[in-house]
Amino acid sequence: MGRVAIVTGGSRGIGASISKALKAAGHEVAATYGGNDEAAKAFTDETGIRTFKFDVGDYDACKSGIAEVEEAMGPVEILINNAGITRDAPFHKMTPDQWKAVIDTNLTGVFNMTHNVWTGMRDRSFGRIVTISSINGQKGQFGQANYSAAKAGDIGFTKALAQEGAKKGITVNVVSPGYIATDMVMAVPEKVREQIVAQIPVGRLGEPDEIARCVAFLVSDDAGFITGATLSANGGQYLS
Ligand code: NDP
């Protein structure tokens, strides 16, 4: 059954794969992005999926952005909180700005988006929310105190909301990727990438489509009994 879905950061990387997978599953997809107009335009030209530009870290921008999507497409039944950034530094060098930017986007952004679809989902007694966390939120990562804190927070947030949404037909889950071959990871020097791959038991990076398929399953009607869960897709690198 086709539903209206918002994918934040849905125009690039993992988000772009999620947007395409949800479209292929028959959903009407709105892909949001933060600032890269060129990538968003190329994505729409390639896929026909509409894009909407607003900062997930800004509550009022999320409220009006979601209203714009709903006016164009109808009530949002699926929300994928995928937008995320890194601002890495060892903690003794981490600035308050680096901390705040990552918390604002990766954790508060999830609140801002979810809060603005929650009442509608409750009123209609149906919703599917999936947030993209990270292996580094589960195990911690040197140089990523900000990112690990935000991504671990996303998991706690999900477990709490799953309890609140259950009786209202809303499932709330996390997909937690390991290292995935997106621009971000492919940009690191080949030698470092080889060291990363050496730590992954399956011996390779993940593909964005492999994360997208997890998300597509969790939003499907088949997954109605799964809520509050964290689905790890990390090639065996971290077993929680
Ligand atoms: P990319 O950097 O390729 O894409 C990020 C997307 O998020 C872009 O569309 C970007 O918009 C959007 N975005 C960033 N900040 C904001 C903001 N403030 N408001 C709105 N949109 C924003 O990231 P990936 O595809 O690599 O990562 C996607 C998610 O998966 C992230 O949450 C990341 O933390 C997580 N993840 C990634 C892993 C990996 O190995 N790649 C591993 C584990 C988790 P724009 O195009 O305008 O910049």
The pLDDT tens digits for 55-76 are: 999 999 999 999 999 999 999 9
| This model's pTM is above 0.90 | yes
- What letter would DSSP give residue 136? H
Residues 6 or more apart whose Cβ sits within 8 Å of residue 38 = none
Residue nearest to atom 1 of ligand 1 (CA): 13
- Which candidate, 83, 81, 98, places its Cα nearest to that of 146? 98
- Which candidate, 216, 236, 211, places its Cα nearest to that of 14? 211
The CATH H-level (homologous superfamily) assignment of domain 4-229 is NAD(P)-binding Rossmann-like Domain (3.40.50.720)
The domain locations on the chain are: 4-229
Q: Give the ipTM.
A: 0.99
Residue nearest to atom 8 of ligand 1 (CA): 9
The pLDDT tens digits for 193-214 are: 999 999 999 999 999 999 999 9
Ligand 1 atom with minimal separation from the 177 CA: 43
Give phi and psi for 157, each to the nearest 5: -55, -45
Return the best residue to mutate from 182, 209, 215 for the ligand 1 pocket (most ligand atoms within 8 A of CB).
Answer: 182
The pLDDT tens digits for 125-169 are: 999 999 999 999 999 999 999 999 999 999 999 999 999 999 999
- Which candidate, 136, 166, 141, places its Cα nearest to that of 151? 136
Q: Which residues line ligand 1 (CB under 6 A)?
A: 8-9, 11-15, 32-36, 39, 55-57, 82-85, 105, 132, 134, 177, 179-180, 182-185
